[in-house]
Amino acid sequence: MALSVIILAAGKGTRMKSALPKVLHPLANKPLVEHVYETAKKLGAEEIVIVYGHGGEQVKAKCYHFDARWVEQKEQLGTGHAVQHGLEAVNLENDVLVLYGDVPLTTTDSLKLLLEDFNNKIALMTVKLDNPFGYGRIIRDKHDKVVAIVEQKDASDEQKLIAEVNSGILAAKGRTLNDLLNRIDNKNVQGEYYLTDIFSLAANDGIEVVTSHPSGAWEVEGVNNRLQLATLERIHQMNIANELMTNGVALADPARLDVRGDVDISNDVFIDVNVVLEGNVKIGKGTTIGPNVVIIDSTIGENVVIKSNCVIESTIIENNVDVGPFARLRPETHLHEKSRVGNFVEIKKSAIGKGSKVNHLSYIGDTEMGADVNIGAGTITCNYDGAYKHKTIIKDKVFVGSDSQLVAPVTIGQGVTIGAGATITKDVEDDALVISRVPQRHINGWKRPQKK
């Protein structure tokens, strides 16, 4: 049977104390609702409907890339009311799964278990909590069948002692769910249409409610304030760290790694503390990542050493390369095999050839560099004329002395040696020596100015 997923994302999130809609607050650098959407996609949902309300235009603008239908809930009259809106946009012949835009960590394994077999039944995810305060309690009969769910504010003192609670995540046939929702009312303390009221109606109709449970309570925890958001962030990061270590990645401290995207890390990689990986990051076997390194949308080869405090973005690093410490590699940088980039070097939109070295205090921009080039300390490629960027070409086996400026557009031929302190403004033929210096003058007896 085809699956439709309704994601409820209309809540204001007052307790977040923020102008940003709650479902847009980031977990692992991704909006809460995007985690839920991606889970729905992994389940193979035929259609996804997002019910939005507060800050709806912001939510739609941020999530413009979603392959989903958007349904506005202009008045927030409860979860039952929200699901009714969602059902208006789905194929009622499908199975329907209800998820929540502020519950980001539900796993596909737990949802597959929920969806396993609920033909002519309602499937409900429940969880047992040490402190169930605030949650709807699961009411079972003497045969252990679910007959109702009672919300906290409507529960008796005896019912409040029940530890099994409703996660809100449920699945049913579209027409069954629609029929039940059309029969609920808002005669309760909140004056809202509770989604949970369908369960007592289902029991009266002889529709069985089957339950399943997540691997941990964190899978069904929602975000209502920044403290809860921070708690789920750490759980999410620890889950990622545990998976990496299981697959052979060595972490100096699993609690001090942040993954904010999709990573592919081979075994025998060592990652030191306070490393942040964003976007799509691939790291090859035997590579070492030092402390306080940020890597964004980059591919790192095998046996690479990245020393402390480097920032690497949209870069390709081939095998056996050394980088850092304190290097910044900006987008479209490509470090070829066995090259070396040292401390306080910035490289942008440049290729550094095989075995070439840019060791200290240099800026290389819009440059194509050959093999076995040596760039001395303080060298700058002057690539910007105030309006346009220009290219520098440095061919194989060039030696550039310290404190040199290469004014682009310029080509330095193979085997050229450039003396320290040179300013190069014209192309240089192969194997030449270039010296560009003001003659040194000595003024004997000169007296330095003194304060009076």
303-357, pLDDT tens digit by residue? 999 999 999 999 999 999 999 999 999 999 999 999 999 999 999 999 999 999 9
Total number of domains constituting the chain: 2
User: Does 267 share its domain with 179?
Assistant: no
User: Does 397 share its domain with 337?
Assistant: yes
Residue 51 domain flag: yes
What is this structure's pTM?
Answer: 0.91
Q: Check if the beta carbon of residue 262 is closer than 8 Å to that of residue 29.
A: no
Residue 276 domain flag: yes
Residue 346 domain flag: yes
Final residue of a structural domain among 180, 198, 220: 220
Residue 125 CB contacts under 8 Å (≥ 6 apart), including other chains:
110, 114, 167, 169, 170, 211, 212, 213, 214, 220
Distances (CA, A) of 4 to 17, 139, 171, 237: 33, 28, 10, 29
Residue 31 domain flag: yes
**How are beta strands 275-283 and 294-296 bridged, if at all?**
parallel
State the amino acid at position 147 in one-letter form.
Answer: V
For the beta carbon of residue 449, count every other beta carbon within 10 angstroms.
5
Q: How far apart are CA 23 and CA 60, in angstroms?
A: 11
User: Does 159 share its domain with 268?
Assistant: no
Residue 342 domain flag: yes
pLDDT band for position 63 (cuts 50, 70, 90): very high
Residue 443 domain flag: no
Which residue among the candidates 81, 85, 334, 360 is catalytic per the annotation? 360
Provide the CATH number for the domain around residue 143: 3.90.550.10
User: Does 201 share its domain with 326?
Assistant: no
What per-residue confidence (pLDDT) applies to 75?
85
Residue 451 domain flag: no
Give me Rg for the CA atoms of the chain: 31
Domain containing residue 387: 226-434
Question: Is 360 labeled as catalytic in the residue annotation?
Answer: yes
User: Does 72 share its domain with 205?
Assistant: yes
User: Does 400 share its domain with 320?
Assistant: yes
Whether the per-residue pLDDT at 22 is higher than 90: the answer is yes
386-434 per-position pLDDT tens digit: 999 999 999 999 999 999 999 999 999 999 999 999 999 999 999 999 9
Q: How far apart are CA 334 and CA 254, in angstroms?
A: 30
Q: What is the dihedral of CA 204, 208, 209, 213, to 10 degrees?
A: 160
What's the gap between Cα 147 and its chain centre?
Answer: 41
**CA proximity to 82, closest of 59, 56, 50, 60:** 50
Provide the CATH number for the domain around residue 291: 2.160.10.10
Q: How far apart are CA 363 and CA 380, in angstroms?
A: 5
Whether the per-residue pLDDT at 188 is higher than 80: the answer is no
Residue 271 domain flag: yes
